[in-house]
C-alpha cells in the first residue's frame, strides 16, 4: 500500500505554473520544463498567475521577481496565503539582492538567476521537490500530534482539577526563554510570563505576577487570577503590534475558530517602535463544556538571529555568483590588454602598446580592488580608532586617486581645512570607504561611449573637508553623468550596481558600512547629466 502511494507521488506528472512577463523566457523555460517531464501552465503577469492559481492549485510555481503590476514578491505572498504548501522558485536578475532576500523571508524556497540555465533550473526544482516531501511528512506528523494535544486538552477541560494544572503550566512557563501569554476570545490578555512583560515593557503595576489567589478563578475563562490589577483592558493586538483591531493573520484567531494549534511568522512592535521578528504558536488552553475554545496560549520565540543568518547566507550565495561573474569579465579584460600589448610589439606600434599597457593596469587595479572588497566583506573587522590629522588624511586620499584621475584626464580638485584639525577614526577603514566614493565619482565622469555626445567643459572630481565643533564633513562632488533616482535609492545596497557589469555592487555598500561603524551618515544628491555630491558626516 505504502509503496504504491509513494510510486503515485513520483509518477504523477508535476504541474508547474510559470510566470514571466517576457515571452522569450516563457518559451524557453516551457520547453526546458516540458523536457524534464513537467506539465507547464504559463502566465504573463502576477494577476493572471493568481487567477490561474485560484482556478487550479499548483504544487510548484516558478516566477520572475520583477514584473510590471503585481511583482513576484506580491504574488509569492498571495500564493503562500492561499496554499502554504506550494513551493515557489523565484527568478532574479543580477543585482536584485533586496528582492531575493525579501522573497526568502516570504518563504520562497529557491531562487535562480537570470539568464536561467538548465542545470541550475534542474537543481532548484529537485531541491524544491525534496522540501515539498519533507513538508508533507511534517504535516502528517503535526496533524497526529495536534489530535493528541486536542485529546489531552479535552481531557483537561473535563477534569475537575484543571485550574491547578493550568497554574502549573503557567508557573513552569514563567521563566522560559519564550514569550508566553494567554488571551481570551476578545484578545484581552489574561496573563503573560516574565519575558512577555519584559519584551513589551509591561511593568508590575499593570500586570500582576504569577501566584495570585487561585480561588478567584471562575473555572472556565480566567486562569489563576492573573488579571490586570487596575482592570484596564489590554488587548494583544494593541500591546504586541500596536494595532487598534485584532490582526487578521492572528494564529489565536484561527485557534478560536477550529480548536487547533497554528503557527505564523510575525513581526511584533516593541515599546520603542522597533520590530521584533518572531515565530508564534497559538494553542487552545481553556475549552468550554460545549467544546468552544475560550482561551488560547500564545508562545513566541525571537527569530531575529535566524533572520540575520538567513540574510547573510543569501547574500553570500549571491555574492559568489556576482563576484565570479565579475571576475570573469575582468580576467577577459586583462587578457585583452595582454593581447593588445603583444600584437603591438609584433607590429612595433607604440600607440597600441601604450593602450594595451593601460588596459592591463586598469584591469589589474580593478581586480585588486575587487579582491580587497571581498576580503573586507568576508571579514567584518573591528574598528581601531586613532587620532588622525584631517589634512594628512585628505592628502593621502588625493595622492591615491591622482594617477587614475590623470590617466582619465579628469581634474582632481580639493578644499582642505586650514588650520588643520584632528579627529578619531580608523584611518585604514575610512580610507577605503572614501576611496570607493572617489572611485565612483571618477567612474561617473567616464561612462564609456556616451561622453562624446555632449562635450562639456572639463570633467572634475572635488574632495572637500570641513568641520563644525562636533562634526567632520567630507563632500565629494563630480560633474559626471549623475544618477537615476532608482540607483540613488539603492546605491548602498549590497550587490546593486548602477554600472551594469562594471561594478560588483560591493563598493558603496562597504563605504556605508564603515561610515555607520564610525557613527556617521552618508547622503547623495544627484541630478542626471549634471553630477553627483556625496556628503559624509562623521562625529569628531
Partner 1 sequence: MTKKILVVDDDPTIVKYLTNIFNDNGYETCSANEGGEAFEVMKQENPDLITLDLEMPNGEWGPKFFRRLSKQEKFKDIPVIVISGLASRHLSIDKAITWLSKPFDPEKLVGIVKNTIG
Give the interface with partner 1 as residue ranges (CB under 8 A): 22-25, 28-29, 31-32, 94, 115-120, 324-325, 328-329, 331-337, 339-340, 343, 352, 355, 359, 362-363, 448-449, 500-502
Of 296 and 363, the one with the shorter C-beta distance to partner 1 is 363
DSSP 116-136: P-HHHHHHHHHHHHHHHHHHH
CA atoms within 13 A on the CB side of 185: 12
Q: How far is the CB of 500 from partner 1 (least distance, A)?
A: 5
CA neighbor of 491 nearest in space, from 450, 451, 532, 459: 532
CA–CA separation, 439 and 42 (whole Å): 44
Nearer Cβ to partner 1 (227/334):
334
Residue closer to partner 1 (CB basis): 118 or 306 = 118
Q: Which is nearer to partner 1, 176 or 331 (CB)?
A: 331
The minimum distance between CB 52 and partner 1, in angstroms, equals 23
Please tell me the distance from the alpha carbon of residue 388 to that of residue 424, in angstroms, as a whole number: 6
- Opening angle at CA 409, ends 408 and 412, nearest 5: 100
Neighbouring-strand partners of residue 262: 282
Q: ∠ CA 7-11-16 to the nearest 5 degrees? A: 135
Distances (CA, A) of 266 to 84, 216, 244: 15, 34, 17
Q: Which is nearer to partner 1, 199 or 322 (CB)?
A: 322
Q: How far is the CB of 43 from partner 1 (least distance, A)?
A: 19
**CB 99 to partner 1: min, Å:** 16
Are the C-beta atoms of residues 433 and 511 closer than 8 Å to each other? yes
CB of 355 to partner 1, least distance (A): 8
C-alpha cell at position 498: 548602477
Given the C-alpha cell 588622525, which residue does it identify?
388
Minimum distance, C-beta of residue 342 to partner 1, in the bound complex (Å): 10
Minimal distance in Å, beta carbon 490 to partner 1? 16
The number of beta carbons lying within 10 Å of the beta carbon of residue 186 is: 9
DSSP assignments along 478-535, one per residue:
E-SS---HHHHHHTTSTT--TTGGG--S-HHHHHHHHHHHTT-EEEEEEETTTEEEEE
Q: Which is nearer to partner 1, 237 or 325 (CB)?
A: 325
What is d(CA 57, CA 86) in angstroms, rounded to the nearest whole number? 8
Q: Compute the least distance from the CB of residue 329 to partner 1, in Å.
A: 5
The smaller minimum CB distance to partner 1, of residues 33 and 388, is found at: 33
Closer CB to partner 1, residue 259 or residue 498? Answer: 498
Separation between Cα atoms, residue 533 and residue 482, nearest integer Å = 9
Nearest distance from C-beta of residue 91 to partner 1, angstroms: 12
Q: 105-114: long-range contacts (C-beta < 8 A, 24 or more apart)?
A: 105/307, 105/310, 106/73, 106/76, 106/77, 106/80, 107/76, 107/80, 108/76, 111/65, 113/321, 114/25
Return the C-alpha torsion angle 383, 386, 388, 392, nearest 10.
-80
Residue whose C-alpha cell is 463544556: 289
CB of 115 to partner 1, least distance (A): 5
- Residue whose CB is less far from partner 1, 198 or 354: 354
The answer to whether 142 touches 122, Cβ cutoff 8 Å, is no
Task: Please identify, using beta-carbon distances, which residue of 198 and 501 lies nearer to partner 1.
Answer: 501
Q: How far is the CB of 248 from partner 1 (least distance, A)?
A: 38
Give whichever of 238 and 451 is closer to partner 1, judged by the CB atom: 451
At residue 181, the 3 state secondary structure works out as strand
**Cβ nearer to partner 1, comparing 33 with 108:** 33
Q: How far is the CB of 297 from partner 1 (least distance, A)?
A: 50
Amino acid at each position: 500500500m505504502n509503496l504504491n502511494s509513494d510510486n503515485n507521488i513520483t509518477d504523477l506528472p508535476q504541474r508547474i505554473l510559470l510566470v514571466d512577463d517576457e515571452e522569450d523566457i516563457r518559451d524557453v523555460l516551457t520547453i526546458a520544463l516540458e523536457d524534464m517531464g513537467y506539465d507547464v501552465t504559463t502566465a504573463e503577469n502576477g494577476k493572471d498567475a493568481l487567477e490561474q492559481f485560484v482556478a487550479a492549485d499548483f504544487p510548484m510555481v516558478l516566477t520572475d521577481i520583477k514584473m510590471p503590476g503585481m511583482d513576484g514578491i506580491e504574488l509569492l505572498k498571495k500564493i503562500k496565503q492561499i496554499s502554504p504548501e506550494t513551493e515557489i522558485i523565484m527568478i532574479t536578475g543580477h543585482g536584485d539582492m533586496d528582492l531575493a532576500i525579501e522573497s526568502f523571508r516570504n518563504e520562497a524556497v529557491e531562487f535562480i538567476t537570470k539568464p536561467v540555465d538548465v542545470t541550475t533550473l534542474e537543481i532548484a526544482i529537485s531541491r524544491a521537490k525534496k522540501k515539498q516531501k519533507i513538508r508533507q511528512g511534517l504535516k502528517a506528523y503535526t496533524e497526529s500530534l495536534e489530535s493528541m494535544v486536542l485529546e489531552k486538552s479535552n481531557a483537561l477541560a473535563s477534569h475537575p482539577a484543571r485550574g491547578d494544572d493550568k497554574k502549573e503550566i503557567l508557573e513552569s512557563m514563567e521563566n522560559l526563554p519564550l514569550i508566553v501569554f494567554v488571551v481570551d476570545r476578545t484578545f484581552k490578555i489574561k496573563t503573560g510570563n516574565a519575558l512577555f512583560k519584559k519584551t513589551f515593557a509591561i511593568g508590575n503595576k499593570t500586570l500582576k505576577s504569577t501566584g495570585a489567589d487561585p480561588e478567584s478563578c471562575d473555572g472556565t475563562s480566567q486562569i489563576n487570577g492573573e488579571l490586570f490589577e487596575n482592570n484596564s483592558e489590554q488587548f494583544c493586538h494593541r500591546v504586541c503590534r500596536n494595532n487598534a483591531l485584532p490582526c487578521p493573520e492572528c494564529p489565536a484567531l484561527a485557534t478560536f475558530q477550529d480548536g487547533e494549534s497554528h503557527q505564523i511568522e510575525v513581526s511584533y512592535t516593541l515599546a520603542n517602535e522597533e520590530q521584533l521578528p518572531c515565530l508564534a504558536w497559538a494553542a487552545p488552553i481553556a475549552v468550554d463544556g460545549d467544546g468552544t475554545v475560550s482561551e488560547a496560549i500564545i508562545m513566541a520565540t525571537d527569530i531575529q538571529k535566524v533572520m540575520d543568518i538567513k540574510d547573510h547566507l543569501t547574500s553570500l550565495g549571491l555574492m559568489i555568483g556576482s563576484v565570479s561573474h565579475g571576475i570573469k569579465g575582468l580576467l577577459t579584460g586583462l587578457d585583452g590588454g595582454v593581447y593588445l600589448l603583444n600584437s603591438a610589439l609584433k607590429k612595433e606600434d607604440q600607440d597600441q602598446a601604450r593602450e594595451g599597457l593601460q588596459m592591463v593596469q586598469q584591469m589589474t587595479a580593478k581586480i585588486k580592488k575587487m579582491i580587497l572588497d571581498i576580503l573586507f566583506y568576508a571579514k567584518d573587522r573591528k574598528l581601531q580608532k586613532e587620532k588622525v590629522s584631517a589634512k594628512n588624511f585628505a592628502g593621502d586620499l588625493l595622492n591615491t586617486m591622482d594617477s587614475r584621475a590623470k590617466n582619465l584626464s579628469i581634474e582632481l580638485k580639493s578644499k582642505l581645512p586650514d588650520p588643520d584639525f584632528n579627529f578619531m577614526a580608523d584611518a585604514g577603514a575610512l580610507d577605503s570607504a572614501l576611496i570607493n566614493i572617489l572611485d565612483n565619482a571618477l567612474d561617473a565622469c567616464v561612462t564609456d561611449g556616451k561622453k562624446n555626445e555632449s562635450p562639456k567643459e572639463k570633467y572634475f572630481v572635488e574632495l572637500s573637508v570641513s568641520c563644525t565643533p562636533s562634526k567632520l564633513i567630507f563632500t565629494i562632488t563630480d560633474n559626471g553623468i549623475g544618477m537615476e533616482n532608482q540607483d540613488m535609492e539603492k546605491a548602498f545596497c549590497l550587490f546593486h550596481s548602477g554600472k551594469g557589469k562594471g561594478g560588483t555592487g560591493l563598493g558603496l555598500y562597504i563605504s556605508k558600512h564603515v561610515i555607520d561603524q564610525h557613527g556617521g551618515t552618508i547622503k547623495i544628491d544627484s541630478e542626471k547629466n549634471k553630477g553627483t555630491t556625496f556628503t559624509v558626516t562623521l562625529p569628531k
